Amino acid sequence: MNYRKIDKEKYYRAGVYRHFTEDCKCSVSMTARIDVTELVAYSLRTGTKFYINFLYLLTKVLNSREDYRMAYLWQTDELICYDEINPTQYIFHDDTETCTPVYTRYSSDYDTFYARALADIERAKQTHEYQLDAAAHPNWFDASYISWLSYDSLNVELPDGYLYFLPIVNWGRYREESGRLLMPVTVRLNHAVADGYLVALVYRLLEKEMSDFCKQ
């Protein structure tokens, strides 16, 4: 885990940062449907798991800009940017109706990431313990698949004034609409480090990455 400190006075969003960390501490959450038709077809064609393929592309997108790798160290009142962030995914156990967090280290190499995620998931299936260890995984963002519903909106609440900057991303089941497969994706970011443009950009970048990926 490596990071660099950001000079708050020279930060390109300095005015916005000050306002949303002092005057109006809040977050931005957006839900939109993205077209995953080609990614589903690619996954079927290659015999790979759609879930892991999407998780890889999502993590790649969130690592592509510093805006999505920001964090606040409350102990020292420092704004930082991680060199890399990794996904915390979740495995659901049908018998107990509980989840186990799964920490998967990111790699820009698809084959490496896929193998890691697959192995991590299989290990998590062997335990029913919650095992959340956020303190030992500070540069990990929350990536949660809501497999039971193709929802229209979702909002993640955090304590008022809590300066948590890493992304929180949820997605639900895809469903067919007009011959295409559309999947709801919810992105939550703190307003101090992201506005509507940066949240919307996640979807645009995902669309581009999926298109490029499926051409392979």
CATH number of the domain at 15, please.
3.30.559.10
Confidence of residue 135 (pLDDT cuts 50, 70, 90): confident
Confidence of residue 1 (pLDDT cuts 50, 70, 90): low
Residue 161 has pLDDT above 80, yes or no: no
At residue 129, the pLDDT reads 83
At residue 30, the pLDDT reads 95
At residue 206, the pLDDT reads 98
Residue 15 has pLDDT above 80, yes or no: yes
Predicted TM-score (pTM) of this structure? 0.95
- pLDDT by residue (tens digit) across 89-109? 999 999 999 999 999 999 999
Residue 57 has pLDDT above 70, yes or no: yes
Count of structural domains, the chain:
1
Residue 56 has pLDDT above 90, yes or no: yes
Residue 160 has pLDDT above 80, yes or no: no
Strands (DSSP E) contained in 17-156 are 27-35, 70-73, 78-82, 86-93, 98-103, 140-146
Domain range enclosing 146: 3-214
Q: How distant is the alpha carbon of residue 44 from its chain centre? A: 23
Q: Which residue has the higher pLDDT, 162 or 95?
A: 95
